[in-house]
Structure 1
């Protein structure tokens, strides 16, 4: 189970975002669920996201995700343990064994993404003060090395009703997705074509829902933005906290 969660965390880190930087404050709510006989309680968490050109930092209570193109690395920061994992952006399927233990590398190599479906602009509604359009994204992840076949669905509510030029802030997140998702995972040809539709989604995501079905369980999370504004980022927000220690991948 721990291996599955490790792989999914790395996977989702690739998928789940200049002058004054873009600050996003959002509330995230996870529903309770039971998986493999273990019950998980629901939780509500406030997260902060800082976006700048070629870098971003998503700050959560348990897990933070930091990317800075200048360093050429993505950092997964586990806050309760005060440790972080360092993932090079140049990693490819061929180089997995250079960075991960053999077992983890074999698991990642076995992953196949299939049955991707992207539905654009399926519905409209008002969320807070924003006029939003709904888009949906779903896929099946085959992990034969773990005898698992999780299915994911993401619902995204996008708006163009923002006074800030948000497009310039999203390049860092888009680059991470392409480098770690398409260069590492085995995505079938039809799914790659379907993923191209994501480039046609317009606006900035202000609310959403994620559903992961795994081993008979349904893991559901919802999020909504509380604040979107431009302001200077705090010093060091795009770096790993100094008192945290690096945990080797291999």
Structure 2
């Protein structure tokens, strides 16, 4: 998988995760994530634990950990990704069809067809969510257990999700957010209704989840735990990119 495709796939997973994990408005979320070690295409990646800090507003999202920072600007339809290891900044349009058209024009016929095929593959998604009768308290939150299975052209993603309704979710802002996303991803409009219908079965905010991913013949496991959630005005710096980084083309 090329780095270009990897960035697209990472953004795509971020977006799909948001459907079930986050409420929307000026909200700060701090999570602890664990990723098991895995070997992909001959390269071994050790297990790691890291903190992810997220700010969500009605028109912007900022997601940052030790390795990268991603800012999604819905009003401008732009995604900006800073790679802290390579000291680079990459910008790309949110509209997937625009990405396909733009990149295809710069490629050979063979590469263009491969890239379009990759983009089409990413759009093929089926999600199912099942609520169980299991409940337990995690931290200070009363949680219910859900099983989510997501099948994509890239592989299968299974999640055990514990969510709480103790945290208030702003449904009006949620709807506004989803409408903005749908407008930038025309290739997904048809199955987006089904995706939203399924993910909306998860009531409230995700507190803890365990994910198992089957992709490229490998099994990858990870977990996400909510550490902090609060409402408040997001600082402007939350959406600033690092200075001194090199701008690179997507």
Measured against aligned partners, the alpha-carbon deviations of 1:65-89 in whole angstroms (never above 9, x if no partner) come to 2122233312222221222332323
SS in 2 for 1:16: helix
Assess, with a 3 A threshold, how the Cα gap between structure 1 residues 184 and 236 changes in structure 2: closer, same or farther: farther
Q: Does the CA contact (< 8 Å) of 1:53 and 1:171 recur in 2? A: no
**Counterpart Cα distance in 1 of 2:239 and 2:172:** 17
What's the counterpart of residue 35 of structure 1?
A: 40
Q: What is the TM-score of this pair, normalised by structure 2? A: 0.78
Assess, with a 3 A threshold, how the Cα gap between structure 1 residues 155 and 7 changes in structure 2: closer, same or farther: same
1:107 equivalent among 118, 141, 144: 118
SS in 1 for 2:33: strand
**Counterpart Cα distance in 1 of 2:35 and 2:96:** 32
SS in 2 for 1:197: helix
Q: Does the CA contact (< 8 Å) of 1:120 and 1:134 recur in 2? A: yes
Q: Does 1:132 align with 2:143?
A: yes
SS in 2 for 1:237: helix
Measured against aligned partners, the alpha-carbon deviations of 1:31-77 in whole angstroms (never above 9, x if no partner) come to 11223343221000011111222222111111222122233312222
Q: Does the CA contact (< 8 Å) of 1:135 and 1:156 recur in 2? A: yes
Q: Does the CA contact (< 8 Å) of 1:47 and 1:60 recur in 2? A: yes
Aligned-residue offset at 1:161: 1.1
Assess, with a 3 A threshold, how the Cα gap between structure 1 residues 111 and 242 changes in structure 2: closer, same or farther: same
What's the counterpart of residue 241 of structure 1?
A: 242
What's the counterpart of residue 229 of structure 1?
A: 230
2:130 equivalent among 116, 119, 143: 119
Listed as ranges, the gaps of 5+ residues in structure 2 are 19-24
2:86 equivalent among 70, 81, 87: 81
Q: Does the CA contact (< 8 Å) of 1:156 and 1:207 recur in 2? A: yes
Listed as ranges, the gaps of 5+ residues in structure 1 are 143-148
Q: What is the TM-score of this pair, normalised by structure 1? A: 0.78
Q: Does the CA contact (< 8 Å) of 1:67 and 1:172 recur in 2? A: no
Assess, with a 3 A threshold, how the Cα gap between structure 1 residues 207 and 220 changes in structure 2: closer, same or farther: same
What's the counterpart of residue 2 of structure 2?
A: 2
Measured against aligned partners, the alpha-carbon deviations of 1:140-166 in whole angstroms (never above 9, x if no partner) come to 222xxxxxx52112333221213x555
What's the counterpart of residue 183 of structure 1?
A: 186
2:53 equivalent among 48, 65, 69: 48
**Counterpart Cα distance in 1 of 2:6 and 2:99:** 21
What's the counterpart of residue 197 of structure 1?
A: 198
What's the counterpart of residue 96 of structure 1?
A: 100
